[in-house]
Structure 1
Amino acid sequence: MNTLRQLCNFRIPCVTTIVLACAGNAVAQASYRVTDLGTLHNGYFGCAMGVNNQGWTETQYGVLDASGKLVKGRVAITIDEFKLDLGTLGGPNSWDNPFGGEINDRGEAVGYSETSVPDPDGEDVCGFGTHLTCRPFLWQYFHMSALPTLGGNNAQASAMNNRGQIIGFAENGILDSTCPANTTNNRIALPVLWEKGQPRPLPTVGSDPDGAADAINDRGQVVGYSGTCTAALHAVLWENGKASPLPDLGTGATAFGINDRGLIVGLVGSPDNSTYYAALWQNGVLTNLRTLPGDFTAIASGINNKGQVVGSTQDANFNWSHAFIWQDGVMTDLGTLFPASSNLSPTMANQINERGQISGMATVLSGPHTGETHAFLATPVDESIDKSVADVVTTQPKLPANVGKQLLPRFRPGQFDR
């Protein structure tokens, strides 16, 4: 099976043993004070996605039933340890896209939510198995409102900037001829920019019918991908209404983050299409950041204006393995910089703000919540550390199988599920 297709079918990972990667430079890096953002409504799963420059995070939280099935997903804003459930647009669940900057410095947030209306075409774009219509939302002034689509039934918002511009993808209602038979989500989905509440489709590359916008900076530059129903063929920069494909290694790429200097991060397929690596684009030049020693894949998802990059790696079975920070040309396992007292093993890092604070998810190492997946916020501190969570062997969390579908609902190069 194509490795890039496997990514969309992955289960949220389990870490059996933390590998002490880049141990030689752990002391030289900043250490972190870690806030465990936990779970919501007695749930089991938490993952902090976006983080603004105040240190507020937009976080996904999942609730399980007695059988261990994910039955509810909610988006919340977390401020320190305070959690505000943003609610829904009438359906049971809300969620946000991976890696995006979903919350701006004013505390406005975006994502997507189920409505109470069944999808007339049987699609399940929100990914919870309910087949309810899925709409992008803007949350501001303690109120969630739906954003319009491009004529179709469904859309999702991925990120917004401090100017109030929102990006994501939206269906136009047209059947996508590039979808294989029996594809559940089979309508053309286009990258879209919402300004003052109105959607504007962004162009795709060449004859590509589909695409999605994943990140936007405060200059209005947008990045994401362009492709077909089953393949992300190009990482793309949109600027001044023009789509410019970014260089890759011949097997596709996707862009997930862009800073105000125009530096772009994402992932790029390996030349033999067997795996994918964290990628950095600067002035149209691709730098392959590769992955941590012992891991199989890497995704770069966030970059601040200092050029610090964060992301996540996976093992050969496509389980989330480690969170990383890349700076000064070196990729470091973020777990080696967490104090042992945090009781968390970070497996995903999503965004980094201008203060160097990092949002992500981690496995609880011990105690009554052992094996659960909790959201975290890591804040850099000057003090040195004398022990790492890499010194502790983790347990394998038993996560519900359908959580992964919400975490990466439409993934990317090579092939992805719709």
Structure 2
Amino acid sequence: MTPQQYHVIALSSLGGAVAAGISDNDLGAISGYSLLSDNATLHAALWYPGSTSAIDLGTLGGVNSAVEWPNHALGEVVGISQTSQIDPLKEQWSCSYPAGSGFLPYTGQECRGFVSRFNRMRQLGTLGGNNSFATGSNIFGEVVGWAETSKRDPTCVAPQVLGFEAVRWGLEGDAHALPPLGQDPASAATAINDVGSVVGISGLCQNAVGALSAEHIVLWKDGIPHQLPTLGGSAWNTPMMLNDEGAVVGFSDRPGDNNGNNFNGHAFLWTSRNGTTDLGTLAGDAVSYAYSINNRNQIVGQSCTPGCASSRAFLYQHGTMYDLNTLLDSSSAGYSLIFANDISDEGTITGLAVSGAGSILAFRLVPNGGWSGSTMGASREGRSLPFRLRAGSFGRIMPNLTH
């Protein structure tokens, strides 16, 4: 089945040069992040249905905040924020590791997961440590992520000191640990569906982000971890999203990754019926990442050259990966879609794009309802990243604050 065409709706920033859409819920609200007018401060941002204006969600008292994962709690947004407290252990934590290249600009402040409702941010707790990280949520308001414990873990690599485990926060913010696999010391949860199943990673503490922290892919059912097969690599095996049928997508290293030092990962799809499937890349690319899947089993992500110096957003459906740039209608000419991070059950998509004028912006991609031509547009090379962008953690394109 040939995909329909899409129309790009550009979303405004909070005054800065970069904005990105990360989550698109079924009410049509998009959340993500944007630079402020100083082009140095990053804040979580919200775009209401039918609006292109960004709303600043603020912080938990610190400098920076962001939404970094698809999350689908109706009426709520979850993400990460720095607080006003300085981390006594001087860890860079998952939020800012490595300093200057993490999800948030490094400030030395503690980082916590948050829930924002009616644009009021509420802090999520830890498991006894100083930091936490919130990723996914479901329509019942349950939130998952990971949080530090009070235990010093010898498998951590400096500057990380404390160990961490996956967390499921209840409606009152109460934190419940989700254990790692077997003898693994660390775990992290990345997504939860409306059935209550949770996916995430299990491995070493290391730097508290990716690499050998993501040695294994985990599915928790009723709080019990079950190992899912990878694509054969030893690190960076990371599920990003699961739908209500239990289909899981993410990215996984392949053999030859040298313990994660030579990332060669591909997007994957896991189902209970077919196991783990390598989704490959767009023609000419080397690596790929699947970021989200909806309940119609449509998958979105990015495909790029090594190091993601050049990147294209993709849509995967019915066994085929499509370059989303080739599915844009004539009114959307000039836009280059760098990555697609979430897709709603209605088929709308959000992510990051570069306009013909060079603006780096969040987008809402709306299906036109049917493909009007007999063939799709010709595939084209990925867009080289403008100087305002860089490849961050596991290939995610982030603001380049060194310029």
TM-score range, shorter chain: 0.7 to 0.9
Q: 1:365 to 1:390 in 2, by over 3 A?
A: farther
The CA deviation at 1:118 is: 0.7
Residue 239, structure 1, aligned to residue 200, structure 2: no
> Structure 2: how far apart are the matches of 1:300 and 1:406?
11
The CA deviation at 1:388 is: 5.5
The CA deviation at 1:277 is: 0.8
Q: Which amino acid aligns with 1:114?
A: Q
Q: 1:382 to 1:154 in 2, by over 3 A?
A: same
Of the candidates 291, 304, 314, which is equivalent to residue 294 of structure 2? 304
Q: Which amino acid aligns with 1:36?
A: A
Residue equivalent to 1:59: 32
Residue 90, structure 1, aligned to residue 79, structure 2: no
> Structure 2: how far apart are the matches of 1:262 and 1:393?
31
Q: Is the 8 A contact 1:365 1:394 kept in 2?
A: no
* Unmatched runs of 5 consecutive residues or more in structure 2: 97-104, 207-211, 398-403
Q: Is the 8 A contact 1:188 1:229 kept in 2?
A: yes
Map 1:271-350 to 2 at 5 A: 271-273=255-257, 275-283=264-272, 285-342=275-332, 343-350=334-341
Residue 255, structure 1, aligned to residue 228, structure 2: no
> Structure 1: how far apart are the matches of 2:288 and 2:302?
6
Map 1:170-185 to 2 at 5 A: 170-180=147-157, 183-185=158-160
Residue equivalent to 1:266: 250
Q: Is the 8 A contact 1:312 1:320 kept in 2?
A: no
The CA deviation at 1:77 is: 1.0
Alpha carbon RMSD of aligned pairs, Å?
Answer: 2.3
Residue equivalent to 1:12: none
Q: Is the 8 A contact 1:347 1:363 kept in 2?
A: yes
* Unmatched runs of 5 consecutive residues or more in structure 1: 1-24, 410-418
Q: Is the 8 A contact 2:310 2:385 kept in 1?
A: no
Residue equivalent to 1:112: 80
Aligned length: 368
Q: Is the 8 A contact 1:89 1:115 kept in 2?
A: yes
Residue equivalent to 1:138: 115
> Structure 2: how far apart are the matches of 1:44 and 1:363?
11
Listed one character per residue, the Cα deviations across residues 75-99 of structure 1 (whole Å, up to 9, x for unaligned) are 11102313211111111111122xx
Q: Is the 8 A contact 1:339 1:389 kept in 2?
A: no
The CA deviation at 1:282 is: 0.6
Residue 373, structure 1, aligned to residue 360, structure 2: yes
Q: 1:389 to 1:189 in 2, by over 3 A?
A: farther
Q: Is the 8 A contact 2:309 2:384 kept in 1?
A: no
Residue equivalent to 1:122: 90
Q: Which amino acid aligns with 1:193?
A: R
Residue equivalent to 1:208: 184
Q: 1:191 to 1:86 in 2, by over 3 A?
A: same
The CA deviation at 1:63 is: 3.5
The CA deviation at 1:173 is: 2.6
Provide TM-score, normalisation by structure 1: 0.82
Moved over 3 A (4+): 383-396, 405-409
- Percent identity, aligned pairs only, is 35
Q: 1:262 to 1:405 in 2, by over 3 A?
A: closer
> Structure 1: how far apart are the matches of 2:160 and 2:331?
44
Residue equivalent to 2:102: none
Higher relative contact order (CA 8 A, sep 6+): 1
Q: 1:391 to 1:301 in 2, by over 3 A?
A: closer
